[in-house]
Structure formats: C-alpha cells, structure tokens
Amino acid sequence: MTTTTAATPEAVAIAMEDALDWAVRDSLTTYVTKIARGGYTVDGGAVEREGGVFSFPLRRAVREGADWRFSFVGSVRFVAHGGLMDILIKDPEIVVGPDRGVLATHVADDPDELLAVVALAAALPEADEAGLTWSGVPTQLAPAAVDLFGTVYPAGTEMAPISIRIALDS
C-alpha cells in the first residue's frame, strides 16, 4: 500500500477506477422521470452506469486513526414539478469508523457545508491486497436529509445500497 504521510492523517494514492456507486433510491428516480415528468442531470465527473447507478470518482481518501474519510466528485440533480422539487447530491463524502458510517453531500448554497444524507449499515470496508471494497452496503435516510428529499421519505427510510472500490498501490 502506498501512502503519503504528513504526521497524521494518511492520504491514499488514488487510481482512476476508484469510485462510489449509488442509485440513491429507485422509487425516487421512477417518480421524477415517469410520474412528475421531470428529469435528472449528472455532472462534474459523475457518470450514470447500468441500472440507474450513479458513479462518483474518488478525489481523496484519508485515514485518521481508525476512521476513513472518502471524498468523491460529481453531482446528480433530480428536478421535477417545474423546479419545486430540486434534489442535489454533490461531491459526496463518506466518513466511516469501526462502528459507524455516514454519506454526506455538499449543500448547494454553501460549498463548505456538508449534510448527512444516509447512515451506513456497515462500518469499515473490507481490505485486502487489492484495496478497499464495499459491496451493496444498506443505507437509511438520515434525519438531517428529510427536507432535502421534500419530506417524502421519513428518517430511517431504506435508500439504495452503496458500493465503493478503492485500489491501493502495493
């Protein structure tokens, strides 16, 4: 594993295929595109993959003690009802430790502010000689994000699972 160390924290070398994959919530995508006659845009380096999964490339991975902070780039914006529904997931970050994890998004009006979107049902990703991998990690809507989703989903609502892959240099 190649790491750059400044005292603490450790920054991990990033490979091009490193990413967060998340479909947000299938019923949301269906509602926006088919019922509400809206749409979504993918921007800033994020891409849409097969099955409505959005892939956000890794910008930075930092280990601080037992915790990891993964910062990703790109955005997906769901807009419907003539702009009355406007949900932006931008430059998501995941902070995870041995017993907790959260996925947060940057808030549109304040690029320095993060909003916790979902709690992760698993802690640290599995590590092997190839890197760190999470696959199909269950998520639940965080109380702070209820308003982001227009109060349609209550706190604790199951959202789409996330997957992360981060290759580590040997």
Two tokens at 167? 């290759």
Q: What does the domain layout of the chain look like in residue ranges? A: 3-167
**C-beta of residue 164 within 8 angstroms of C-beta of residue 70:** yes
pLDDT score at 5 = 30
Euclidean distance between CA atoms 137 and 99, whole angstroms: 14
DSSP, collapsed to helix, strand or coil, labels residue 14 as coil
CA distances for 119 relative to 38, 111, 123, 127, 162, angstroms: 27, 21, 10, 21, 11
**C-beta of residue 12 within 8 angstroms of C-beta of residue 166:** yes
CA proximity to 42, closest of 32, 28, 52? 52
- Write the DSSP assignment of 44-87 as a string of letters: TT-EEEGGGEEEEEEEEEEEETTEEEEEE--EEEEEEGGGTEEE
pLDDT score at 169 = 60
pLDDT score at 135 = 86
pTM of the full structure: 0.84
If the chain, 170 residues long, is cut into consecutive pieces of 10 residues, what is the mean pLDDT of each piece?
34 63 94 93 95 94 87 95 92 87 83 85 70 87 92 93 79
Give the bridge partners for 164, in sequence order: 20, 134
pLDDT score at 153 = 93
**C-beta of residue 145 within 8 angstroms of C-beta of residue 167:** no
